[in-house]
Amino acid sequence: MNAYEYFRAAFAARDKEVFLEDETGSVYAYADLDRETAQVASFLTGLGLRPGDRVAAQIEKSPQGLFLYLGTLRAGLCYLPLNTAYQRGEIAYFLGDAEPSVFVCDPARAGGYEEVARASKVTHLLTLGARGEGTLADGLAGAPLRFDTRPVGTNDLAVIIYTSGTTGRSKGAMVTHGNLTSNAAVLKDYWGFTGRDVLIHALPVFHVHGLFVAVHPILLAGARILFHRKFDARAVLAALPRATSLMGVPTFYVRLLAEPGLTQDAVRGMRLFVSGSAPLLLDTFSEWQARTGHTILERYGMSEAGMITSNPYEGERRGGTVGFPLPGVELRIAGADDAPLPVGEPGAVQIRGPNVFSGYWRMPDKTREEFTSDGWFRTGDVGQWSEDGYLSIVGRAKDLIISGGYNVYPKEIELVIDAIPGVMESAVVGVPHPDFGEAVTAVIVKQQGATLTEEAVVAHVRGEIAGFKVPKRVFFVDELPRNAMGKVQKALLRDKFSG
Ligand code: MCA
Ligand code: AMP
């Protein structure tokens, strides 16, 4: 079933209930959501887009952006969300690789994107601003308000989510309608969402956490979203008395704990705090418990598989663990030969289930590499079982930094830094950071006689890639530590530059 139709079947009986309250004061009922998405679907279909065609969007967070996503699903088209921090070079790669027919961007950026859009297969460059303004709105104004949701198969493509890779080249994870519906149903039940719930939504809507996890279970429950355009600790604090639930990355919880107004009284109406996308420090988990009387529920997921494990809603939520495999998800901890390891031994986390994506867009070799011969997906995370079945993520086999919930692959930054005149070579590592969990840190060997400074490197990198990938610090060394095989010993660099 089309994922939109699946959600609609669940919320149809709650037509007049509020779906979303925007920070601006605008309120949308479920009937509004249905009408707005019908208009989007009619409009996109009217442009001549065929099932499976891609609609890319790099837009500020807005209710209209959410309608664009859900309307795209409804039309049987494929949505391609892009982080607003991405710079032109990054966007050019995504448009070239995914070949969307439609690209929706912020009105202020349209001029700068005309050339990259022309160089790709984009036939319609449209705009959508934070207040809903732009050429998309103009187009929607004349579109029919009714649309028969286009039927699709479980394995049909719904969304492509780009995730960067160890080679520095991003891969498009192909997420199907079946992936979306199965995960949504499980989360709604596992986390106990009902029509009485009010979720504070302060996550970006271009990644799985904010776009799927914090929206789909709400739709299935016919619950309400308090829509925050971006995370602001004080605004979230002010909204807590009206809410029942919050989903966030660990940085949300760290910043909320820094607010003196976070008290047991402030959270008295809340029933659920969920954390994910990055490891939640035990200190944050314990401090939250002591201050609020609530135990954060930590879960584990990834773009390729939505949510994989979760601490229980009822029962012990154990800090430092990500709980149990969600219903329908199989998870094994495997050794180098892909055979399961005994309980307690750390190994590769491999998974199977209806939540697992269908492969990387136009990268059949990469897809084959990431699945075992017996069909398990290699997450690249290192995990460990406890005797009583809780999973802990104890490391990563992939060379990945997670900063404030965003993934940063060192290779991508190293390639940009190595191209700076005066750089001989570089290594990028993540070091512990009190706010972001890990901070992107660059270690550089200069060419002889080069007069590079930290400021110059940062300024150069900032022009090329998204701000969250820019190193927070740059250090210069005479040489990089290497092992006998010639591989840079990143663990040594992490230790040396921590703190
Ligand atoms: C912003 N900046 C960052 C980050 N965010 N630097 C490092 N890491 C970050 N995460 C930088 C900007 O480039 C800018 O730097 C400065 O901080 C201020 O930018 P601003 O946008 O105002 O930052 P913020 O509002 O303080 O943002 C922090 C944040 C945000 C609220 C933690 O990063 C965020 O919403 N993170 C959530 C990410 C997320 O949704 N991940 C889910 C991925 P300058 O001024 O120098 O330019 S999906 C996933 O991982 C899986 C499926 C899962 O399990 O969920
Ligand atoms: P992404 O590719 O952006 O979807 O990020 C997925 C990765 O985030 C996973 O493979 C993990 O490495 C990491 N991750 C997500 N949730 C958690 C968690 N609760 N604890 C530790 N790592 C996590």
Q: How far is CA 378 from CA 35, 135, 223, 309, 339, in A?
A: 40, 42, 34, 15, 12
Q: How many CA atoms lie within 13 A of 45 on its CB side?
A: 20
Structural domain includes residue 413: yes
Closest ligand 1 atom to 408 CA = 8
Mean of all residue pLDDT scores within the chain: 96
Structural domain includes residue 388: no
Closest ligand 2 atom to 379 CA = 10
249 lines ligand 1 (CB under 6 A): yes
Structural domain includes residue 120: yes
210 lines ligand 1 (CB under 6 A): yes
Q: Which residues pair with 438 in a beta bridge?
A: 432
Domain extent at residue 180:
3-190
441 lines ligand 2 (CB under 6 A): no
Helices (H), 52-207: 63-74, 88-98, 110-119, 135-141, 177-190
Q: Quick check: 273 and 250 in contact, CB under 8 A?
A: no
Q: In this predicted structure, what is the pLDDT of residue 398?
A: 83
Q: What is the mean pLDDT of residues 470-492?
A: 93
Structural domain includes residue 219: no
Last residue of a domain, one of 142, 160, 190: 190
Give the CATH number, domain containing residue 162: 3.40.50.12780
**Ligand 1 pocket test, candidate residues 468, 469, 472, 474, most atoms within 8 A of CB:** 468
| CA 406 / ligand 1 centre spacing (Å) | 6
Digit-coded pLDDT (tens) for 194-219? 999 999 999 999 999 999 999 999 99
Give the CATH number, domain containing residue 423: 3.30.300.30
Q: In this predicted structure, what is the pLDDT of residue 499?
A: 76
Last residue of a domain, one of 172, 190, 208: 190
DSSP 393: E
Instruction: Tell me the C-alpha distance between 184 and 128, whole Å.
Output: 27
Q: In this predicted structure, what is the pLDDT of residue 486?
A: 86
Structural domain includes residue 242: no
- pTM: predicted TM-score of the whole model, two decimal places: 0.96
Tell me how long the chain is. 499
Structural domain includes residue 332: no
Instruction: Tell me the C-alpha distance between 82 and 458, whole Å.
Output: 23
Digit-coded pLDDT (tens) for 82-133? 999 999 999 999 999 999 999 999 999 999 999 999 999 999 999 999 999 9
Burial label for 196, CB within 10 Å (0-12, 13-18, 19+), is: exposed
Least Cα distance to 349 among 377, 310, 390 occurs for: 377
204 lines ligand 1 (CB under 6 A): yes
Number of domains in the chain: 2
Least Cα distance to 125 among 140, 141, 111, 146 occurs for: 111
Structural domain includes residue 89: yes
Digit-coded pLDDT (tens) for 29-61? 999 999 999 999 999 999 999 999 999 999 999
277 lines ligand 2 (CB under 6 A): yes
| CA 44 / ligand 2 centre spacing (Å) | 33
Q: What is the mean pLDDT of residues 299-328?
A: 98
| CA 309 / ligand 2 centre spacing (Å) | 11
Instruction: Tell me the C-alpha distance between 458 and 175, whole Å.
Output: 35
Nearest CA to ligand 2 atom 10: 302
Above pLDDT 70, what percent of the chain?
Answer: 100
Q: How far is CA 406 from CA 12, 87, 163, 494, in A?
A: 35, 16, 10, 19
pLDDT of residue 169 exceeding 90: no
Structural domain includes residue 307: no
pLDDT of residue 165 exceeding 90: no
Last residue of a domain, one of 154, 174, 190: 190
Q: What is the mean pLDDT of residues 267-285?
A: 97
